[in-house]
Amino acid sequence: MKRFLSLMIVVLLGFNIFLALEVGQLNEKVKDLSGSQSTHIVETKVTQFTTNVTEVVDKSLEKVVGIHSYRFNNLYSTGSGAVYKVNGNEVLIVTNNHVISNADRVDVSFANGVEVTGQVMGSDLFTDLALIKVTVDFEVIPFRAGDSALSKVGEWVLAIGSPLGNEFAGSVTMGILSGKDRVVPVDLDNDGRSDWDMIVLQTDAAINPGNSGGPLINLAGELIGINSMKIAMESVEGMGFAIPINEVVPIMEQLETNGRVIRPVLGVSAVGISDMSIYQKNSFGIQLNQTNGIYITSVVAGSPAQVAGIQQGDILIRFDGADITSFKQFRKLLYGKKINDLVDIVLTRQSETITVRVRLQ
């Protein structure tokens, strides 16, 4: 019996040693297999990512230009631009209005080192866009316009331009599309109050002075925005903004055709009641607790407003079904209409509420 028990113990010990060796070998195989697969996947992704980005940049650099604005032969502003359209030897370039504003000469420098003087075909203060035409004797390829409405938050984007001037021309920064349809108030007349709301794309790709007017592109090399501004505060990092290409194209078409953006006119001068002081409200006979609406300070003779019966002293409280909260909002609604559109306007005149229909011109 003792012999049998001893034999069984020896057999069991041997079997345990065999199992331990098998398990150890299996673990080694699993580690080798796992490490091999992980390394392969990472290397593949890094290679594809690098190749895609460098190829896109290589094909895009020649489509980006530097803009140099002069006044009285003195350089006072630099920026960037994107090749928008090519008609034979004529090249159309989109940039920001604030880059070329007040310039009496605008020079355009291409990636091949050629610099030519351009003609400003038109610009628009509200959208901060401008169109420049140059004539060249070499081949230029325009950007292919993407669809900013289809761009997705989180996708990779590239900003290309000349930050801090021509010395750093062709600089590329990368980030993601941080947000869409952002509303950024802007002060157009430098009076300390916002006059317009810009609808923009947000990105954390670095945008510096000199990048203004340059392209924001996706990894397909498509132009999805025109870099326009950033929030420059010590407490803020990585908040740049670009005008969506879907907003840019209609403006470029008007600038190319008309030299300016034609917007509908109502024919009034007005001030937002929300912007009035207590003294101003008293002077105009407006209740001190009233904040909505705009006060009509004058009506242009022969304008749509006069034809419809709008008078000085009226308070416009609704425009085409929307309650008016500020002059900025009213102007945005007005400029969103087309010439010859019919709109219903609700006014208060003394204690009376009046509705008029106006055909915009």
Q: How far is CA 350 from CA 40, 94, 167, 287, 290, in A?
A: 78, 48, 62, 11, 13
At 191, the pLDDT band (50, 70, 90 cuts) reads: confident
Backbone angles phi, psi at 95, to 5 degrees: -150, -170
In this model, does residue 35 exceed pLDDT 50? Answer: no
- pLDDT tens-digit map of 238-289: 788 999 999 999 999 999 999 999 999 999 999 999 989 899 999 888 999 9
Name the amino acid, one letter, at 302.
G
For range 205-225, the mean pLDDT: 93
Is position 323 annotated as part of the catalytic site?
A: no
For range 172-189, the mean pLDDT: 91
At 10, the pLDDT band (50, 70, 90 cuts) reads: very low
- pLDDT tens-digit map of 319-336: 999 999 999 999 999 999
Q: Give dist(CA 137, CA 239) in Å, integer.
A: 39
Output the average pLDDT for the chain.
Answer: 86
Catalytic site residue from 212, 228, 314, 326: 212
- What is the architecture, at CATH level 2, of domain 268-359? Roll (2.30)
- pLDDT tens-digit map of 67-109: 999 999 999 999 999 999 999 999 999 999 999 999 999 999 9
Print the SS3 string covering the chain.
CHHHHHHHHHHHHHHHHHHHHHHHHHHHHHHHHHHHHHHHHHHHHHHHHHHHHHHHHHHHHHHEEEEEEEECCEEEEEEEEEEEEEECCEEEEEECHHHHCCCCEEEEECCCCCEEEEEEEEEECCCCEEEEEEECCCCCCCCEECCCCCCCCCCEEEEEECCCCHHHCCEEEEEEEEEEEEEEEECCCCCCCCCEEEEEEEECCCCCCCCCCCEEEECCCEEEEEEEEECCCCCCCCCEEEEEHHHHHHHHHHHHHHCCCCCCCCCEEEEEHHHCCHHHHHHHCCCCCCCCCEEEEEECCCCHHHHHCCCCCCEEEEECCEECCCHHHHHHHHHCCCCCCEEEEEEEECCEEEEEEEECC
> Would you tell me how many other CB atoms lie within 10 Å of the CB of residue 325?
16
**Position with higher pLDDT, 232 vs 125:** 125
Catalytic site residue from 98, 148, 171, 314: 98
pLDDT value at residue 165: 77
The yes/no answer on whether domain 62-135 falls in CATH 3.30.565.10 is: no
Is position 128 annotated as part of the catalytic site?
A: yes
160: its two tokens: 């290309």
pLDDT value at residue 26: 46
In this model, does residue 31 exceed pLDDT 50? Answer: no
- What is the architecture, at CATH level 2, of domain 146-258? Beta Barrel (2.40)
Q: Give dist(CA 205, CA 43) in Å, integer.
A: 25
Q: Give dist(CA 61, CA 280) in Å, integer.
A: 54
pTM for the full model?
0.79
Backbone angles phi, psi at 315, to 5 degrees: -115, 115
Catalytic site residue from 128, 151, 162, 326: 128
Is position 204 annotated as part of the catalytic site?
A: no
